[in-house]
Amino acid sequence: GERRIVGLKSPEGAERLRALCEAEGVQLPPPAPWWKAVLAGEPRRPCPGLRGACRHTYAAAVQAVAGDFDDSQIQALEECVGVAYVEEDAAVLKAEGPPPWKALWRPPDGAQHALKTLAADLRRDLLGGEPSAAGFADLAAGRGGGGDGDGGHGGRVAAFAGGGVQELHQALWNLDRVDQRDLPLDGRLRYGGPRGEGGAGGEGVTVYVVDSGLRGSHQEFAPWGGGGGGSRAVVGPDFVDGDGEAADCDGHGTHVAATAVGRTVGLAKGARVVGVRVLDCAGSGSISDVVAGLDWVVREHDPAAGPAIVTLSLGIALGQWSRTLEEAVRALSAEHGILVVVASGNSGVDSCFVAPGNVAEALTVAASDLNTKFGITRESDREGLYRWSNTGGCVDLFAPGVDVYSACGGASRCDRVDDASYAWASGTSMAVPLVAGAAAAWLAENPAATPAQAKAHLLAEATEGKLESPHLLEGTPNRLLFATPPHNRPNVASFGG
């Protein structure tokens, strides 16, 4: 048969399918309210003639089953459990720009040395102990393309300073941009939550990165507190190989996760991250695997443990649709209290034509750019888009997504993959985790907020009218992410002092 996804008419229908799928080694969690079928005396029998068909069964995010079904098996399902719809399984792709990722930015003369020194400092200080301003050397001013004056800060690599202010190298321009309304870039990131000195932001929030997996041992996911050992990252299930361990061979998921919660390259530095693997080593997957990942998140996450966010830096190919994926994303936000942050996509078209970026209940993110980001920035500089970012009315806001420096988890991205390696990447994929990090920081201080309230907060806080581009489609909201905590803005006392 063909790989198809079959939506079921009711939870009772999914319950009847349980016996068959369990016999095939696919576990179906009890759909709620499964007990109604029992009390009503409904039969709980397997459907005939479907052996070998089940690949995934969903009962948390959606009521559906995916497998290799021929027409006769679809008819059998209709007669046995009731079929609401049938759709073809299709490819899902990461929302990242083309390789080579390492060559997206060719820095000016002398800057290569600055970046190597930055990487060495990150390796030494994060692996060696608690980051501090004193633990990071300042490079000679100008190595990155500009001095400390007049908006240039190419030599600065100090990672953390007191009071929730991180001194930034120009490589981390994306963090630099989202904590200030206007240019020039000031070389600093104001972060954290008002929980006392040392609060990193995002504590108590879990970010589920449904992606290519996760290198959970990377130094960017190290815990705070100075005790050493452990990690804020959990390597979750693998729906590609089915081996139960979401190790990352592409590196896309690790890069995304570190931008969301990394200690030096991330925004919500105190949040927890869980990697769910649905994309293979080339960054592609299937709708059925992505929905399986979302279904797992619903079943796995305990609301009592704190708020949750899902990142989907991926999408279906232009011109294809999936009711199952769209309904799953919608259900997470509207029914299960989990904010879903999705990429608008990289086709240069209206985002309303791309799933799941077209789902209104999700928070859809497009990618912005700043041409002078690695030089001297000035107040009058124009800000534009990632050239292929989808725009249009389904976009909620923009975040920096070009030449983003983050953790490396795949051999094609950096010269050596270890727990202190870093790489560049571009695309709407890279904008998504910045928004997820901002959401995590806010939800940490507002844990009872709904996904709709978190989304409304980020949109209300966004900076309006900064982007200029002929590729900005009519009806696109001109909103740029703004992520500085209220207590840590200029002229407002920070939690550290």
Give me the active site residues, please.
211, 252, 429
At residue 365, φ and ψ (nearest 5 deg) are -120, 130
- Residue 88 bridge partners (DSSP): 4
Q: Is the separation of the CB atoms in 83 and 74 below 8 Å?
A: yes
In what helix (H) or strand (E) does residue 114 lie, and over which residues does it extend?
helix 111-128
Among 89, 88, 84, CA closest to 13:
84
Among 351, 354, 433, CA closest to 396:
351
Q: Which amino acid is at 223?
A: P
E-state strands within 247-359: 272-277, 284-286, 308-312, 314-316, 338-343
Q: For residues 456 and 442, what is the distance between their CA atoms, to the nearest angstrom?
A: 12
Token pair, residue 225, equals: 């507190």
Q: Label residues 265-282 b or e (16+ Cβ within 10 Å = b).
A: bbbbbbbbbbbbbbbbbe
With H, G, I as helix, E, B as strand and everything else as coil, classify residue 308. Answer: strand
